Amino acid sequence: MQQINLLNPDLRPRRQRLNLGAVTLALLLATLGLAATAALTSRDLARVQQQVRDAEALQQTLQARLDQLHALAKRTPDPRLVDELNRTQDRLTATQEVMAALDSGAAGDSAGFSVTLAGLARQALNGVWLTGVVAAGPSLDIRGRLVNAELMPEYLRRLKGESAFAGRRFGDFTLAEHPAAKPGESASGDKDAPEPGPARYVEFGLKAFASPEVRGVAPAAAPAAAPATGGRT
C-alpha cells in the first residue's frame, strides 16, 4: 500500500528563532533608556529642590529684615522705613506663594516652573518688584509694581529676550497708577491716620502665552483687555 504525503512542507508554520545578539542588544537599549530617564528625572528633581532651598533662604532673609523694620518703625516713624517695610512684606508674600506652589505641585510642571522663576530672577530690574507669578497650563500670569511706568518697556524687552520665555508671546497688559498720599492723609484717605510716607507706585499685570507655532494651532481672536481703573496702557 503506497502512502502519498499531500502536505506541502513550505506551508508549515515556521518558528522564528530568537537571535541571542538581538535579544542582548534590545535589553541593553532598554537599560540605557531607563538609565537616561532616571538621570533626567534626578536632575530635574535636584533643580527643583535647589529652587526650594533658595526660596527658603530668601524667605528667612526677608523675614529677618521685616522684623528689623518693624522694630525701627516703632521707635522712629520714618516714612522711608514704612515704605521699605511695605515692599519687603510684598516680596515676602510673593516668595511664600512661590514656595507653596512648588510644595503643592500647583504650578504644574515644577521643573519648568523653576526655569521660569530663574528667568525672572535673571531679568530683575531696579525699581521693579514682583507681587505674584501664577502658572495656569501653557500661560503665565505675572503681576508686579514699578516705581515709574517708564520702566515697563525696558522690563518687557528683557523678558522677551530671556531664554526661559522662548516660544512665548506677551499680552493682556495692564497698568494702574497709585498716586502718593497727600500730606497729613493716609493712602486710604483717613486724615487722622499717621502719615505712611511715599506710596506712589504703578501696578502692572501681563500674561505670557505659548505662541501658535508652539501649540500647533491657529491663534484665536482674544478680546481686548479692559484698561485698569486709573491706569494707562
pLDDT at 228 over 50: no
- Residue entry with cell 527658603: 56
Q: Which residues pair with residue 128 across a beta bridge?
A: 146
Please state, for a pLDDT cut of 90, what percent of the chain lies above it: 3
**Of 183, 208, 176, 216, the residue nearest 198 (C-alpha):** 183
Q: How many Å apart are CA 233 and CA 225, to the nearest integer? A: 10
Of the candidate ranges 85-99, 165-179, 183-197, the one whose mean pLDDT is the lowest: 183-197
- Grid coordinates of 121: 530672577
Q: In terms of pTM, does the model score above 0.75?
A: no
What pLDDT is attached to residue 210? 78
pLDDT at 198 over 50: no
Dihedral pair phi/psi, residue 69, rounded to 5°: -65, -40
Distance (Å) of CA 72 to CA 60, 65, 67, 69: 18, 10, 9, 5
Q: How many Å apart are CA 113 and CA 135, to the nearest integer? A: 8
CB-based contacts of 2-9 (< 8 A; 24+ apart in sequence): none
Sequence-ordered alpha helix ranges (H) in 76-182: 79-104, 110-122, 152-160
Residue type, 224: A
Q: How many Å apart are CA 100 and CA 52, to the nearest integer? A: 10
pLDDT tens across 47-97, in order?
666 766 777 777 777 777 777 777 776 776 667 766 777 777 777 776 666
Which of 214 and 204 is assigned the larger pLDDT?
204
Dihedral pair phi/psi, residue 50, rounded to 5°: -65, -40
Dihedral pair phi/psi, residue 213, rounded to 5°: -65, -35
